[in-house]
Each structure stands twice: as C-alpha cells, then as structure tokens.
C-alpha cells in the first residue's frame, strides 16, 4: 500500500515537473509578447503571477474550511490541513506581492507608468491578506499550549478569510491600477490563453503536491510531540 | 526601456522562493525523521527497564 502511494506521488511529481518545464517553454519561447503598454516582454510575468494568486486564494479557503471543521469536530486532521495551507498560502502570496510590482514597473497602469507600488484597493487588501496569515502562523508558533494555539489560530483563519473575497472583488468594485480581469472579458488571444491554462495546471498540481507534503510533515511533527509526551521528555 | 531583466528577475525570484520552501520542507522532514528514530529508541529502552 505504502509502495503504491510512493509510486503515485513520484509519478505526480514527474508529471508536474514536465508541465512546469513545458509552461516555461511556452512563456519564454512560444507565446507572443503583449503590447508595450501592458509591459511588452515583461507581461509574461502574468503567466505565473495569476496562478500564484489563485493558489493563494485556494490555500486560504482551505485554512477557512480546516478552521471551521477543527472547531466543530475537534479533530487534529483539520487543524493539520489549516496550518499547512496557511504556510503555503503565505508563500504564494509573497510571490504575488513580489512579481506584481516588477510587472507594474514595466507597464502603463491607467495614466501612470514606471511605478512599483500604489496604495490602491487591490494591492492594499492583498498586503493585508499577507499580514493576516503571517499573524496566523505567528499565533501557531508562539501560543503556549497546542490546543489553545489551534483554537486561536482557527478563529483568525475564519475571520481573516473575510479579506479574501474583498481582494478578489477589489478590481470589480473599485477603480484600481491593477489590470481588469482579462479571463472574464474574454480578451486573451488563443496562444496566451493556452499558455495561461498550462501554467495554471502546472501551478495547481504543484500546489496539491506541496499541500500533501506539508500535511505529511505536520503529521510527523505531531508524532514527535506524542512520543515526547509518552517518554516524558 | 529593456524589459527582459524584469522578466528574468521575476522568474528567478519565483523559483528561488519555491526552491527555498521545498528545501525547507525536506529539511524539516529529515529532522523530524531523525527525532522520531531517537525517540523510538528511547521508548524501547524505557520499556525494557
């Protein structure tokens, strides 16, 4: 059974590695550059910027779900999922917060160009989201008792999720410097759409594998705590 | 304005961050495995006493 599980995970890692290489080939060698106002060649940052944002949203939804289920069922497996997803979400959000300004610097955003950052609704709420989940992880690390830390963090995981739909809707509700949602307007040419779908698939599979590995690590860390208690160390 | 350095920098940072995170998971997994082995050994000794 364990061998079969290993075969599956190895196969998935190999498939995802191939997908990532293919996506990078499409991004750097195949897809045409956008017009200069959209950043020209640097617009290709978009193909990993957008899937990273999606992976971050998905992570924080898992934190929300895991937190609710932990408080309801008091089963550690939900807490394990929540804490693992929070860490992964912070990593993907940091990628979004780094790559966004690099792309912004090269593009015309409404009537501005050459700027790294603007305190507009989308960017600000994304930064707030990042700090909410940093706080979540700090609570986990510094709470004295494990169950108490899990409870406090679960409350942050539920309340903090309120910011996620605001981040998502910010470009629809307010006039922001962030580009409008091109997928919904159908404004992407087929080659760009194909590249985006490929990188989306690669990042999504990578996200699943990361979550799998991180939950496994958390389970092993809990085993260590349990063994320590039994031995009295 | 030559924009390629921006593209290169963005992807270099993406892969550096991801590699760093994956390596941190591996490192923590290795440390936990070593700890589990040591604790199991300690438990065996304790039970044998």
Q: Kindly determine whether residue B10 and residue A231, on different chains, have CB atoms separated by under 8 Å.
A: no
pLDDT, residue A155, reads 96
Place of tokens 């270099």: B12
| pLDDT at residue A55, rounded to an integer | 97
Residue of B nearest to A233 (CA): B39
CB-nearest to A217 from B4, B28, B42 is B28
Asked if A105 is an interface residue toward chain B (Cβ–Cβ < 8 A), one would say yes
Alpha helices, H only, A74-189? 76-106, 121-142, 146-159, 163-173, 182-185
Spatial contact of A80 and A215, defined as CB atoms under 8 Å apart: yes
**pLDDT the model gives residue B1:** 65
> Residues A112-162: pLDDT tens digits?
778 899 898 999 999 999 999 999 999 988 887 888 899 999 999 999 999
Q: What ipTM was reported for this prediction?
A: 0.90
Say if CB A138 and CB A147 are below 8 A apart.
Answer: no
First to last CA, chain A: 33
Chain B residues with CB-CB distance to A94 below 8 A: 17
Confidence band of A69 (pLDDT split at 50, 70, 90): very high
Per-residue pLDDT at B33 exceeds 70: yes
* pLDDT at residue number B39: 87
List chain B residues with CB under 8 Å of A213.
25, 29
| Four-residue CA torsion sign, A85, A91, A94, A98 | negative
C-alpha distances in angstroms, A162 versus A57, A165, A168, A192?
12, 6, 11, 32
């Amino acid at each position: 059974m364990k061998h079969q599980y290993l075969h599956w995970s190895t196969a998935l890692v190999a498939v995802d590695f191939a997908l990532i290489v293919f996506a990078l080939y499409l991004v750097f060698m195949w897809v045409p550059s956008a017009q200069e106002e959209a950043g020209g060649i640097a617009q290709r940052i978009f193909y990993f910027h957008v899937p990273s944002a999606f992976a971050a949203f998905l992570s924080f939804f898992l934190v929300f779900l895991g937190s609710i289920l932990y408080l309801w069922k008091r089963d550690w497996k939900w807490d394990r999922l929540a804490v693992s997803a929070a860490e992964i979400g912070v990593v993907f959000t940091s990628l979004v917060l780094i790559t966004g300004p690099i792309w912004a610097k090269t593009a015309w955003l409404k009537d501005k160009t050459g700027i790294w950052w603007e305190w507009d609704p989308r960017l600000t709420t994304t930064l707030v989201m990042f700090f909410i989940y940093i706080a979540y992880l700090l609570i986990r690390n510094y709470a004295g008792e494990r169950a108490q830390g899990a409870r406090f963090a679960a409350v942050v995981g539920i309340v903090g999720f309120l910011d996620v739909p605001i981040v998502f809707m910010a470009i629809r509700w307010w006039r922001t410097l962030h580009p409008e949602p091109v997928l919904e307007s159908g404004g992407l040419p087929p080659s760009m759409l194909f590249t985006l779908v490929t990188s989306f698939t690669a990042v999504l599979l990578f996200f699943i594998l990361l979550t799998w590995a991180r939950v496994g690590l958390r389970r092993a860390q809990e085993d260590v705590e349990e063994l320590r208690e039994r031995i009295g160390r | 304005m030559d924009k390629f350095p921006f593209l290169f920098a963005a992807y270099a940072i993406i892969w550096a961050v991801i590699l760093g995170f994956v390596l941190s998971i591996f490192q923590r997994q290795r440390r936990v495995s070593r700890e589990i082995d040591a604790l199991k050994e300690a438990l065996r000794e304790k039970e044998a006493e």
